[in-house]
Amino acid sequence: MIAELGHFALILAAMVAVVQAIVPMIGAHKGWDGWMAAAVPAATTQFFLTAFSFSALTYSFVVSDFSLRLVVENSHSLKPMLYKVSGVWGNHEGSMLLWVLILTLFGACAAWFGGNLPPSLKARVLAVQSSVAVAFFAFILLTSNPFLRMGIPPMDGQDLNPLLQDPGLAFHPPFLYLGYVGLSLTFSFAVAALIEGRVDAAWGGWVRPWTLAAWVFLTIGIALGSWWAYYELGWGGYWFWDPVENASFMPWLLAAALLHSAIVVEKRESLKSWTILLAILAFGFSLIGTFIVRSGVITSVHAFANDPERGVFILMILAVFTGGALTLFAARASAMQAKGVFGLVSRESALVANNVLLAVSCFVVFIGTIWPLVAELAFGRKLSVGAPFFDAAFTPFMVVLAIILPIGAILPWKRAKLNRAVKQVVPAAILAFLIAALAWTLQTEKTILAPVGLALGIWVVAGSALDLWSRCGRGDMASRLRRLTRLPRADYGKAVAHFGLGVTMIGISAMNAWQIEDIRVAQVGERFEVGAYEIELASVDQVQGPNYYSTMARMNAYRGDRLVAALTPEKRVYPVAKMPTTEADIDNGFLRDIYLVIGDAQDDGGWAVRTYIKPLANWIWAGAILMGVGGLLSLSDRRYRIAAGAAKAGGGGARPVAAE
Amino acid sequence: MKSLKKQRRIQVIIVAAIALALSTALIGYAMRDGINFFRSPSQVVAEPPTASEVFRIGGLVEDGTLVRGQGETVTFAVTDGGASVPVSYTGVLPDLFEEGQGMVGTGKYVNGTFVATEILAKHDETYMPKEVVDALKEQGVYQDPNETDS
């Protein structure tokens, strides 16, 4: 009964979405206030209906209603409650329902918090957002209905893939979707502005918080996924350049670019057409990502129920929305005359460079991702594009980005003097050089990679600190410190996010260059040396968990005679899903991780053991968290809380530029 | 004013064009080492690649060939029904690696043995890499897992 109500609510929501896509659009065109205003209650209704539908599915999972096919295939009565709930989106149908739920949530948020938008723009934004929703409602109802019943309900379910039974992965998809789908609202704003024929500073101000929110969620979602891959898969890697990973990384790169170019629109009324284009492309890449993940056209280690029919449907959605928006863009390009002029050396130029680099690196990732498909269709060759490709083609752009970031961030708007900015960041350069030199002399294996990566990271980190410091004027220490506490949160947000990027860079370079890997057969009681540590295989026992059996090793890591960590890596077998998993155990440290994996039993009574010492591993995710925190700080800035978008200061800039 | 704006726009376009050209060049350069061709065991036996080429091989783990528990190196044979190629791999195998199951390995073909640096197996019990499915179909031994699996 509950499931039928959920299904029914979903159909109703789809019908509301159709109305919301048409009525406000006509209203905005004709100037009828009533028709425009209809968008707000429609968006609210649409959201609550979808939320009800989602709750109905969640309820079916929670009470283990095995008359639903989806529950049978992805749940089990013995599964812990957290994974019963996360099982809702651990499969294709349920995750698509989550996808539209978030889509309607963003629509509803625009309706609720968009009070200061001009009525016609608001009506159009909500109508466009709703037309995207119509497409996805149709997709779910026609190809992926989550509410299908079983003819003969079985006694128990087939369990969720054990790899997915993990807290990291429980929250990975919701965050990722909040990011992916959040970009839909940016897209709606871009298309609405194109229909309206007006892109101004205020528009930049409205779009930026939504882009920022989507980017923050996407950052957290990607970081969670990479963290999960690191500790759950037992391969010791954190990023595999897998097509599905790239599918989330491409919108992230474009959202980061959009974030920066929207600032230029807001402050300086420049780069308008470029920003609109980015907004369209960013959501386009979200859709491409959905297509790659769901259609299975490109081989990936991520397995989703692959179905060509679904792939074609998503490809059609992609073609209609991106194609339509780009056509509109071409037709209306003239409406987007830039107002602000800027000098060759200026923050605008630096942000242009940022945008070009991010967009081009996204292009590189895109080519690498779809190349297997192109090669198969065009040349009939089966191939895969591996990490060496991305290392060689993607990294150079990130290096250049890191080099210009601290200087660009400190440049004033409009016109700047390069030597003055360079003088300000000299301390950061000196620090970066010193630490790189130190790393070079201390490292045992002479690789140039790590010191260079480290230097770049330090340069970005120190540069963002200097950026913040330079905003405090030129007075004495006390007055500067006083001003530091009163800086707008957006300034803190910027500095913290850039700081985080530097931290991630440091983590990646250190881990790539200095990690130690050891694979061997160890007897119980044996002690062996790995790097600066001694690892002991103390015992191996058979243990039973709530819904699995486990082979659990007790291992100790010593440094000299001191016990550093007692770890218990496991091999588990989930009998219901008939699936074994490897549970690595990791001792997380500030400067290094000790990462242990237990492998096969050997005929001579020993065990295969894999040990990694990973320097600065946690810095990778710590940096991502800092980036997210930076985004949130910026989002909580006073001007968004009090007068979002109301400051229509064209050309001038609402933020005091203390560095000038 | 107008001309400065125009000048700026032209400069931006030039920068973008340079970046695009540079990225294309880099992509071309990186493609030389970064792409791994996929070969089925039959293809490897028919035309053995040089020992320096890194490529991917895929097929089913042949029944009765998997030797694990003899030290850190695992050996088995991979087959597509037409031919089979011995594989050696040093490391801990993925969880779902079993005889009779699909696998894809990356590595080099040295002296008649595929020395794998990376082994991928399926992620869940119904998934099989697309290349493996195609290779098996070519040899006419493919069975749809949805029909044979419980």
Q: Is A386 in Cβ contact with B36 (below 8 Å)?
A: yes
Residues of B in contact with A371 (CB under 8 A): 31, 35
Residue A505's pLDDT band (boundaries 50, 70, 90)? very high
| Helix axes of A418-442 and A395-410: crossing angle, nearest 10 degrees | 130
B29 is in an annotated binding site: no
| B11 and A CB contact within 8 Å | yes
Whether residue B82 sits in one domain with residue B14: no
Per residue in A419-438, pLDDT tens? 888 888 888 999 999 988 88
Q: What is the mean pLDDT of residues A82-108?
A: 91
Residues of A in contact with B124 (CB under 8 A): 161, 163, 303, 577, 579
Q: What is the CATH number of the domain that holds B68?
A: 2.40.50.140
Q: Radius of gyration (Cα) for chain B, nearest Å? A: 22
Q: Which residues pair with A594 in a beta bridge?
A: A587, A613
Query: Of the candidates B26, B125, B127, which has its C-beta nearest A392's C-beta?
Result: B26
- The predicted structure's pLDDT at residue A167: 80
Position A335 pLDDT exceeds 80: no
Question: For chain B, what is the domain count?
Answer: 2
Do A563 and A535 contact (CB within 8 A), yes or no? no
Position A548 pLDDT exceeds 90: no
**Of A396 and A73, the one with more pLDDT:** A396
Query: C-alpha B82: how far from its chain's center?
Result: 19
Q: What is the mean pLDDT of residues B82-98?
A: 83
Do A188 and A129 contact (CB within 8 A), yes or no? yes
B20 → chain A, closest CA residue: A360
Give the residue from B2, B35, B66, B133 with the most A CB atoms within 10 Å of its CB, the best one to mutate: B35
- The predicted structure's pLDDT at residue A337: 74
Q: Which two tokens stand for residue A429?
A: 């350069």
Whether residue B53 sits in one domain with residue B7: no
pTM of the complete model? 0.90
| B70 and A CB contact within 8 Å | yes
Within-domain flag for B93: yes
Q: What is the mean pLDDT of residues A136-146?
A: 93
Nearest to A7 by CA among A68, A74, A64: A68
Average pLDDT, chain A: 87
A161 → chain B, closest CA residue: B124
Residues of A in contact with B68 (CB under 8 A): 600
Helix, strand or coil for residue A298?
coil
The count of CB pairs under 8 A between chains A and B is: 137
Residues across chain B: 150
Residue A654's pLDDT band (boundaries 50, 70, 90)? very low
Q: Is A161 in Cβ contact with B124 (below 8 Å)?
A: yes
Per residue in A371-397, pLDDT tens? 988 888 888 888 888 888 998 999 999
Within-domain flag for B148: no
Q: What is the mean pLDDT of residues A465-492?
A: 84
Position B128 pLDDT exceeds 50: yes
- The predicted structure's pLDDT at residue A405: 94
Least confident range from A300-304, A309-313, A391-395: namely A300-304
- The predicted structure's pLDDT at residue A332: 86
- The predicted structure's pLDDT at residue B141: 64
Q: What is the mean pLDDT of residues A334-353?
A: 82
Q: Which range scores top for mean pLDDT: A277-291, B37-51, B123-137?
A: A277-291
Give the residue from B14, B27, B75, B104 with the most A CB atoms within 10 Å of its CB, the best one to mutate: B27
Alpha-carbon gap: B111 to the closest alpha carbon of chain A (Å): 23
Whether residue B129 sits in one domain with residue B70: yes
Q: Where are the domains of chain A?
A: 1-165, 519-618
- Measured from the Cβ of residue A545, the count of other Cβ atoms closer than 10 Å reads 12
Residues of A in contact with B20 (CB under 8 A): 360, 363
- The predicted structure's pLDDT at residue B71: 75
- Measured from the Cβ of residue B101, the count of other Cβ atoms closer than 10 Å reads 14
Residue A660's pLDDT band (boundaries 50, 70, 90)? very low
- Measured from the Cβ of residue A305, the count of other Cβ atoms closer than 10 Å reads 14
Q: Quick check: ipTM above 0.85?
A: no
Whether residue B67 sits in one domain with residue B55: yes
Whether residue B9 sits in one domain with residue B82: no
By percentage, how much of chain A surpasses pLDDT 90? 48
| B72 and A CB contact within 8 Å | yes
Within-domain flag for B150: no
Q: What is the mean pLDDT of residues A312-335?
A: 90
Residues of A in contact with B30 (CB under 8 A): 388-393
Whether residue B41 sits in one domain with residue B31: no
Residue B137's pLDDT band (boundaries 50, 70, 90)? confident
Nearest to A405 by CA among A357, A364, A344: A357
Do A221 and A175 contact (CB within 8 A), yes or no? yes
Q: What is the mean pLDDT of residues A28-35?
A: 91
Within-domain flag for B149: no
- The predicted structure's pLDDT at residue A50: 97
Position A532 pLDDT exceeds 70: yes
Q: Is B26 in Cβ contact with A610 (below 8 Å)?
A: no
Do A88 and A61 contact (CB within 8 A), yes or no? yes
Residues of B in contact with A301 (CB under 8 A): 120, 123
B104 → chain A, closest CA residue: A301
**Of A10 and A73, the one with more pLDDT:** A10
Q: What is the mean pLDDT of residues A242-259?
A: 92
Whether residue B14 sits in one domain with residue B61: no
B123 is in an annotated binding site: yes
- The predicted structure's pLDDT at residue A14: 96
Nearest to B56 by CA among B76, B79, B42, B35: B35
- The predicted structure's pLDDT at residue A563: 92
Residue A577's pLDDT band (boundaries 50, 70, 90)? confident
Domain that holds residue B29: 1-35
Nearest to B112 by CA among B33, B41, B35: B41
Q: What is the mean pLDDT of residues A343-353?
A: 88
Nearest to A351 by CA among A401, A424, A397: A401
Alpha-carbon gap: A399 to the closest alpha carbon of chain B (Å): 14
Within-domain flag for B24: yes
Tell me which amino acid residue B36 is.
Answer: N
Average pLDDT, chain B: 80
Q: Which range scores top for mean pLDDT: A268-277, A318-327, A640-649, B77-86?
A: A318-327
Whether residue B51 sits in one domain with residue B2: no
Position A232 pLDDT exceeds 90: no
- The predicted structure's pLDDT at residue A28: 92
Residue A362's pLDDT band (boundaries 50, 70, 90)? very high
Whether residue B134 sits in one domain with residue B80: yes
Tell me which amino acid residue A562 is.
Answer: R
Q: Which helix (H) or strand (E) holds B85?
A: strand B84-90
Whether residue B30 sits in one domain with residue B74: no
- The predicted structure's pLDDT at residue A302: 55
Residues of B in contact with A521 (CB under 8 A): 71-72
Position A646 pLDDT exceeds 60: no
Per residue in B12-63, pLDDT tens? 889 889 999 999 998 988 888 788 888 888 889 988 888 888 888 888 888 8
Residues of A in contact with B12 (CB under 8 A): 352
B124 → chain A, closest CA residue: A161
Question: Could you give the CA distance from residue A298 to residue A384 in angstroms, rounded to a whole number?
Answer: 9
Position A312 pLDDT exceeds 90: no
Whether residue B50 sits in one domain with residue B21: no
Give the residue from A600, A604, A609, A610 with the most B CB atoms within 10 Å of its CB, the best one to mutate: A600
Do A453 and A502 contact (CB within 8 A), yes or no? no
Q: Compute φ and ψ for A255, nearest 5 degrees.
A: -65, -40
Query: Of the candidates A338, A382, A519, which has its C-beta nearest B72's C-beta?
Result: A519
Q: Is A161 in Cβ contact with B123 (below 8 Å)?
A: yes
B16 → chain A, closest CA residue: A356
- The predicted structure's pLDDT at residue A605: 84
Position A49 pLDDT exceeds 60: yes
Whether residue B45 sits in one domain with residue B4: no
**Of A575 and A29, the one with more pLDDT:** A29
Do A172 and A225 contact (CB within 8 A), yes or no? yes
Pairing of strands B84-90, B113-121: parallel
- The predicted structure's pLDDT at residue A25: 94
Position A70 pLDDT exceeds 80: yes
Question: Could you give the CA distance from residue A125 to residue A21 in angstroms, rounded to a whole number?
Answer: 10
Question: Could you give the CA distance from residue A469 to residue A456 in angstroms, rounded to a whole number?
Answer: 20
Q: What is the mean pLDDT of residues A312-338?
A: 88
Q: Alpha helices, DSSP H only, in A411-536?
A: 418-442, 449-470, 477-485, 489-514
B121 → chain A, closest CA residue: A301
- The predicted structure's pLDDT at residue A111: 93
- The predicted structure's pLDDT at residue A80: 84
